[in-house]
Structure 1
Amino acid sequence: MPSPRLAPQIDAPGFAARRIAADIIDNVLVRRRALDDQLEGPSAHPAVKGLSDRDRALMRRLVATVLRRLGTLRYVLSRLLDRGMPADSQRAETALLLGAAQILWMDVPDHAAVDLSVRLAQADRRAARYVGLVNAVLRRCAREGQALGEEAAKQAADIPEWLFSRWSAHYGDATTRDIAAAIRHEPALDITVKSDAAVWAERLHGEVLPTGSVRTPLHGAVTMLPGFDDGQWWVQDAAAALPATLFGDLRGKSVADLCAAPGGKTAQLAQAGAAVTAVDRSPARIKRLKDNLARLALTAEIVVADATEWTHAPFDAVLVDAPCTATGTIRRHPDIAWLKQASDINTLTGLQHRLLQRAVAMLKPGGTLVYCTCSLEPEEGELAVQQLLESEQALRRAPIDASEVAGRRELITVEGDLRTLPCQLPHADPRMAGLDGFFAARLVKA
């Protein structure tokens, strides 16, 4: 074990990955920057591209583990710190979080986890005064942290209190604890295939889910997997793949896909034979949608516009995949748990209502509207549809039958809507279990 007084070596193996991970975690927790924006695109951390593939994968896993287990980590560290977290150094706290995450859940020797966290603290002017603290606390964590982590797990500490209270009120305490347990595990990769799901499941060392998606435990660069360059499949959570299937036979029908980017549902609609018009207000996201469709050799009319203001001749069907708090996707995007707050719900429900009103206006008589969100909040799902049905007398609900979701009755609400939870689709391997939390309702215009 190096002395806490050892000068930091920025070329120590794995140090660069941990330094970048610390930067990204700080940006999420302090500056409230989304994780995806820091990993890819024009706002990505400038040093990410300089990492080797191995270090890039390590950095991503470090960040995801800290954010996915943040509540547990804070609980464990609070029990090991006599005076609480250093109040004047975020980097000292982040060094502790990273070190403890590696000790508790990652295949990293304890001495290496402590050593590199000490170096992180040494390399920061404000954190340097806490080098001895970081060293001592992480040594204790190696001895005592496992038992403390088990205590935290019983409290579902990795779900923010405001979310836990909301979910308990709507889904019940037991189900909420099951959701919390599911979110703690890094999920497998889900893909939607054009055809031959069983063949692609074998090629990707995965399995075909009851709903038709292929799930593989493979991780790493998606672009390197068989079939990607050939456009045989696209990445899409199993729950996200369900709403676009609720229209039935779409061959020859006109469909508007509102808020369409990055294009997973657009691809499904086009693959089903629909004439798709994909609408999104973000030019950057539209570019990604175009790139995805080009790789998949699928076509759609692309429109850059605000869907709440865009007008068009009536469509046979409209899909509204509305912007939402995305609390159903925390298992794949763990930063959401710590970026979102209760006030975001009210802000987004107004936008969702405007999108729904616009969708009704552009729907032909007899046409079908599918509304969906990747949120677990009832205001963005069940209550939004209830409000729409009360205000639009021409609409009626077309209940979804369990046969449309592989006979999984637990995915259908009493009213006939789709409601998936992260704790559903159990599996002996927790990494292969679960799916995102989604809501979808099917409505028909009289």
Structure 2
Amino acid sequence: MKKPQRAAAADLAKQEAMKAPGLAARLAAAAILRDVTVSGHTLDEVFAAPMGLSRLGGLAPRDIPLIRSIVTAALRRLGTIRHALAALLDDGFPRSAPQLEWTLTVAAAQILFLDVPDHAAVDLAVRMARLDSKCAPYAALVNGVARNLIRRREEFLAVGPALDIDTPAWLAARWRKAYGEEMAQAIATANRLEPTLDISVKSDPAQWAEKLDAVLLPTGSIRLKSHQPIQELCGYEDGAWWVQDAAAALPAQLLNVTPGLHIGDLCSAPGGKAAQLAARGARVTAVDRSAERLKLLAANFQRLQLEAEVVVADVTTFSGPTFDAVLLDAPCSGTGTIRRHPDIAWIKKTGDIAKLVTLQARMLDKAFDLVKRGGTIIYCVCSIEPEEGEQQIANLLRRNPDVSRVPISAEEVGGQTDFINALGELRTLQPYLPAEEPRLSGIDGFFAARLVRQS
């Protein structure tokens, strides 16, 4: 057979192979895992256009949740998976076939952590290997490794504590230093769990918890038990509620909102906190540098039948009116949301925190320029790194004599005394709000401080 004919035959064979049910979804999952762990892209980026189109284009809508499940399980337990594969590959991954790592990672995530038939995970992993010319010679190896994962599943699942296995070493060291061994272990263990799904409601949370057969948390948020798509739940189309983690809902509650109070919500998108403020009658100016994210905010406000002034601007250079109060949800490392965004653990580096701390300080100084004398500032981050929270506020108080801290009481956060530190600041950690069912327990790690500009 001539070369062009061989190439055509190979292409035809590949097209036929791609028709295997579920294969395209696994190939996309492998590509996305590489995008995250090697190229440093976030999951939000790779599941959105334009990158999402390159990985997900042509796939059936029903495949997208499966792909996300595989990827998030793999990232949440990446250390465990790498340990298992290292134990089964005496010589490591062959350098001539770099894609083999992601093929086996996808297979391991399904075999160890997902409710996928073992035979399907093995068969599709072998098919993935055969589709790649560099991996094809190792198809038998893939088959053997996948079958050994099945045989030794319980051994690998019991390999070690989450802080030592599934947490990057630099993060584990930071958490041990900041919170001690016991709490650091509890944080890492909580990060392994499926995240909760919480909502905030405009009014009458007890009634909505009953309507949705959900859990009413002491902080006022509602925790959903259902796995039903949120768009299909009662009240969504009517704009009665919006998705917002229970911890993220707390900072806006620390402002004494009265109708007509003019509040600047800085770094506002996608708008959960702005919605809380607007629903209580505040006049909200939502500022964010991302026009695309502000489009999400505008769409949410339209569904919720709420109003806000939307401004596309960099907070550090924004010049506008002085506000009665300011809420600054500053850019941060996001380490309090690893349970929800497991990619964070693998794309953030220790040097990122120092850069973020500098940016946060600039934004805090700007927030005080934008608030009236006597006005309140809420500073918050979804990070559990002290430099971005407690130390950031301590530094602000040292450099600005016109700032004072207004302590937060446990009564303001549903009586949760463990949410309040010794200085009267909000500090939630992932193991807080325990429940009998692990899926319904925990909360994002968050920090917030309430400050006032002296009159």
* TMscore range, shorter length: over 0.9
> Which amino acid is 1:85 matched to?
F
CA distance in 2, matches of 1:443, 1:74: 45
- In 1, are the aligned partners of 2:163 and 2:189 still within 8 Å (CA)? no
**Larger deviation, residues 195-204 vs 399-408:** 195-204
- In 1, are the aligned partners of 2:76 and 2:166 still within 8 Å (CA)? yes
**Larger deviation, residues 233-242 vs 98-107:** 98-107
**Alignment counterpart, residue 74 of structure 1, candidates 82, 94, 105:** 82
CA distance in 2, matches of 1:219, 1:43: 27
**Alignment counterpart, residue 173 of structure 2, candidates 165, 169, 178:** 165
Partner of 2:8: none
CA distance in 1, matches of 2:179, 2:163: 17
TM-aligned CA deviation for residue 9 of structure 1: 2.3
CA distance in 1, matches of 2:366, 2:148: 58
Identity %: 50
Q: Is residue 2:63 matched to residue 1:55?
A: yes
Q: Is residue 2:195 matched to residue 1:187?
A: yes
| 3-state SS in 2 of match to 1:278 | strand
**Alignment counterpart, residue 128 of structure 2, candidates 105, 111, 120:** 120
Q: Is residue 2:407 matched to residue 1:396?
A: no
Partner of 1:109: 117
**Larger deviation, residues 25-34 vs 223-232:** 223-232
CA distance in 2, matches of 1:95, 1:204: 40
| 3-state SS in 1 of match to 2:364 | helix
- In 2, are the aligned partners of 1:385 and 1:441 still within 8 Å (CA)? yes
> Which amino acid is 2:396 matched to?
L
TM-aligned CA deviation for residue 140 of structure 1: 0.7
CA distance in 1, matches of 2:392, 2:93: 41
**Quick one: structure 1 residues 36 and 221, their matched pair in 2 at CA, closer, same or farther if it must change by over 3 Å?**
farther
CA RMSD of aligned residues (A): 1.7
**Larger deviation, residues 101-110 vs 418-427:** 101-110
> Which amino acid is 1:31 matched to?
S
**Quick one: structure 1 residues 393 and 329, their matched pair in 2 at CA, closer, same or farther if it must change by over 3 Å?**
same
**Larger deviation, residues 175-184 vs 242-251:** 242-251
> Which amino acid is 2:383 matched to?
S
> Which amino acid is 1:111 matched to?
H
**Quick one: structure 1 residues 204 and 306, their matched pair in 2 at CA, closer, same or farther if it must change by over 3 Å?**
same
**Larger deviation, residues 39-48 vs 121-130:** 39-48
**Larger deviation, residues 14-23 vs 51-60:** 51-60
| 3-state SS in 2 of match to 1:45 | helix
TM-aligned CA deviation for residue 252 of structure 1: 2.1
> Which amino acid is 1:285 matched to?
R
**Larger deviation, residues 121-130 vs 98-107:** 121-130
CA distance in 2, matches of 1:277, 1:154: 42
Q: Is residue 2:23 matched to residue 1:15?
A: yes
Partner of 2:7: none
Q: Deviations over 1:331-368 (max 9, x none)?
A: 11111111100010111111101100011111111110
**Alignment counterpart, residue 147 of structure 1, candidates 126, 151, 155:** 155
CA distance in 1, matches of 2:303, 2:18: 40
CA distance in 2, matches of 1:321, 1:167: 22
TM-score by length of 2: 0.93
Which structure 2 residues correspond to residues 201-280 of structure 1 after superposition, within 5 A? 201-219=209-227, 221-280=229-288
Q: Is residue 2:106 matched to residue 1:98?
A: yes
**Quick one: structure 1 residues 343 and 431, their matched pair in 2 at CA, closer, same or farther if it must change by over 3 Å?**
same
- In 1, are the aligned partners of 2:265 and 2:287 still within 8 Å (CA)? yes
Partner of 1:131: 139
- In 1, are the aligned partners of 2:28 and 2:67 still within 8 Å (CA)? yes
TM-aligned CA deviation for residue 40 of structure 1: 2.4
CA distance in 2, matches of 1:65, 1:204: 27
TM-score by length of 1: 0.95
Partner of 2:329: 321
Q: Where does structure 1 lack aligned partners over 5 or more consecutive residues?
A: 1-5
**Larger deviation, residues 398-407 vs 43-52:** 43-52
TM-aligned CA deviation for residue 440 of structure 1: 0.3
TM-aligned CA deviation for residue 131 of structure 1: 1.3
CA distance in 2, matches of 1:88, 1:409: 56
CA distance in 2, matches of 1:45, 1:297: 31
Q: Deviations over 1:143-182 (max 9, x none)?
A: 1132122113365311111000001100111111111111
Partner of 2:427: 419
Partner of 1:290: 298
Partner of 2:416: 408
Q: Is residue 2:355 matched to residue 1:347?
A: yes
- Higher Cα radius of gyration: 2
Runs of 4+ residues over 4 Å off in structure 1: none
**Larger deviation, residues 125-134 vs 13-22:** 125-134
| 3-state SS in 2 of match to 1:40 | coil
TM-aligned CA deviation for residue 122 of structure 1: 1.4
Q: Is residue 2:48 matched to residue 1:40?
A: yes
Partner of 1:387: 395
| 3-state SS in 2 of match to 1:356 | helix
- In 2, are the aligned partners of 1:189 and 1:219 still within 8 Å (CA)? no
**Alignment counterpart, residue 436 of structure 1, candidates 423, 444, 447:** 444
Partner of 2:9: none
- In 2, are the aligned partners of 1:57 and 1:220 still within 8 Å (CA)? no
**Larger deviation, residues 123-132 vs 263-272:** 123-132
**Quick one: structure 1 residues 254 and 153, their matched pair in 2 at CA, closer, same or farther if it must change by over 3 Å?**
same
> Which amino acid is 1:286 matched to?
L
> Which amino acid is 1:255 matched to?
I
**Quick one: structure 1 residues 368 and 222, their matched pair in 2 at CA, closer, same or farther if it must change by over 3 Å?**
same
CA distance in 1, matches of 2:166, 2:312: 38
CA distance in 1, matches of 2:75, 2:392: 30
Which structure 2 residues correspond to residues 299-310 of structure 1 after superposition, within 5 A? 299-310=307-318
Partner of 1:3: none
